[in-house]
DNA sequence: TTAAAAGTATACTAGTACTATAGACTTTAT
DNA sequence: ATAAAGTCTATAGTACTAGTATACTTTTAA
């Protein structure tokens, strides 16, 4: 479960989009703005957001005043969903992947001790990523900010 | 935490070396034998075992009748130790790595929600890998074999 | 003492993934 | 009509992966 820059930027952008904005009916945010706030190359971010859109996690509005917005409530989008779109399976090795299994080359999968342990690792990672929503992250951030007396 | 072939082969080899042999004083195993049993290119395995030796996890004996053997008891070698030699840090992102920290580019590390979650992931992975020894894996394998009535 | 077995060390390579960058195109508000 | 904004595809440099290849050293046994 290595987080690539692609995955990192995508997750950061999704978290930005999940932050509570002034109660507009449609809190559309432009690529440019996200890129600036998070110090990301706008052109690179473009590709990433497009991928998230094609995966159904984001919607967009073209033209003047357009931008991106979450396809569902922040409570209903998990980090696991975003991660899998951008960085693929969560499992450290294909033979323990739930979403995209493939055999590795070991003599006997059933009795392979390494596979058992890696299965545990996969489950530990998936437990966290699939049970943490964008809303959870935003909440956690603001808790820390309060504790530190920031903003 | 993606397990490369290098890491996979190395871990598999270490598990083989941890399996209980006839009670010889020094259970030395040759590269060739491990490579055959685990279906690994001998030349590739050579590099991997050498790296593990230079890291102090294996010892070797040159010449006729030589080979590799564990530097310590299987109980005292963890999967985490082996993994880090071959595949580097366990953390999904550098800014949460305990063993080899580096800042990522986020605006503020202290309040970065993504970083907090990735820290949890790192800890979950490290908990498993650093608390599972080669002996544990061997034991688990034989338990499964018994349950299945194999060999 | 010499040949063969075994590990040591380094260099090289083909393929793939990562991290962007670039440019042309489409849609929409004003 | 124009400018703002997203869409789509191609390309490029770099690093990493998974090996291969080759030459060398140490050790044992005949």
Residue A26 confidence class, pLDDT cut points 50, 70, 90: low
Residue B150 confidence class, pLDDT cut points 50, 70, 90: confident
Place of tokens 């052109």: A43
- d(CA A96, CA A103) in angstroms, rounded, equals 8
Tell me the CATH number at A35.
Answer: 1.10.10.10
User: B129 at the A interface (CB within 8 A)?
Assistant: yes
Q: What secondary structure, in 3-state letters, does B73-137 show?
A: CHHHCEHHHHHHHHHCCCCCCHHHCCCCCCCCCCCCHHHCHHHHHHHHHHHHHHHHHHCCEHHHH
- d(CA A32, CA A46) in angstroms, rounded, equals 9
Virtual CA dihedral for B102, B107, B108, B112, nearest 10 degrees?
-90
Q: Could you read off the pLDDT of A27-62 as tens digits, one per residue?
A: 899 999 999 999 999 999 999 999 999 999 999 999
Nearest by Cα to B27 from B57, B66, B54: B66
The answer to whether the Cβ–Cβ distance between A137 and B150 falls below 8 Å is no
Q: Does the residue A151 lie in any domain?
A: no
Q: Does the residue A106 lie in any domain?
A: yes
Q: Do A15 and A87 contact (CB within 8 A), yes or no?
A: no
pLDDT at B72: 96
Over 80: is that where the pLDDT of B111 sits?
Answer: yes
Angle separating helix axes B31-38 and B5-18, nearest 10 degrees = 110
Q: Does the residue B58 lie in any domain?
A: yes
At a 7 A CB cut-off, the residues bordering strand D are A 30-32, 46-47, 49-50, 53-54, 60-68; B 4-6, 41, 43-44, 46-47, 61-66, 87
Residues, chain A = 151
For B146, name the nearest residue in chain A, comparing CA atoms only. A111
- d(CA A1, CA A92) in angstroms, rounded, equals 6
Give the count of domains, chain A.
1
Containing domain of residue A64, as a range? 5-146
Q: Which residues of A touch B137 (CB under 8 A)?
A: 113-114, 116-117
- For strand D, the positions having any atom within 7 A of a protein Cβ are 3-10, 17-22, 25-29
Q: Does the residue B9 lie in any domain?
A: yes
Q: Could you read off the pLDDT of B17-55 as tens digits, one per residue?
A: 999 765 554 579 999 999 999 999 999 999 999 999 999
Q: Does the residue A97 lie in any domain?
A: yes
Q: Which residues of A touch B107 (CB under 8 A)?
A: 37-39
Q: Does the residue B77 lie in any domain?
A: yes
The answer to whether the Cβ–Cβ distance between B129 and A116 falls below 8 Å is no
- For strand C, the positions having any atom within 7 A of a protein Cβ are 4-11, 18-23, 26-30
- d(CA A71, CA B111) in angstroms, rounded, equals 25
């Amino acid at each position: 479960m290595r987080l690539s820059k692609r995955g990192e930027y995508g997750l950061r952008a999704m978290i930005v989009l999940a932050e509570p904005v002034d109660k507009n009916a449609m809190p559309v945010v432009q690529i440019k703005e996200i890129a600036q706030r998070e110090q990301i190359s706008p052109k690179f971010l473009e590709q990433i957001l497009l991928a998230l859109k094609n995966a159904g996690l984001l919607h967009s509005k073209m033209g003047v005043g357009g931008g991106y917005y979450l396809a569902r409530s922040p409570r209903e989008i998990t980090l696991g969903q975003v991660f899998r779109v951008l960085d693929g399976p969560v499992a450290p090795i294909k033979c323990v992947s739930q979403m995209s299994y493939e055999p590795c080359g070991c003599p006997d999968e059933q009795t392979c001790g390494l596979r058992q342990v890696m299965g545990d690792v996969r489950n530990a990672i998936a437990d966290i990523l699939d049970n943490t929503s964008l809303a959870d992250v935003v909440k956690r951030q603001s808790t820390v900010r309060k504790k530190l007396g920031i903003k």
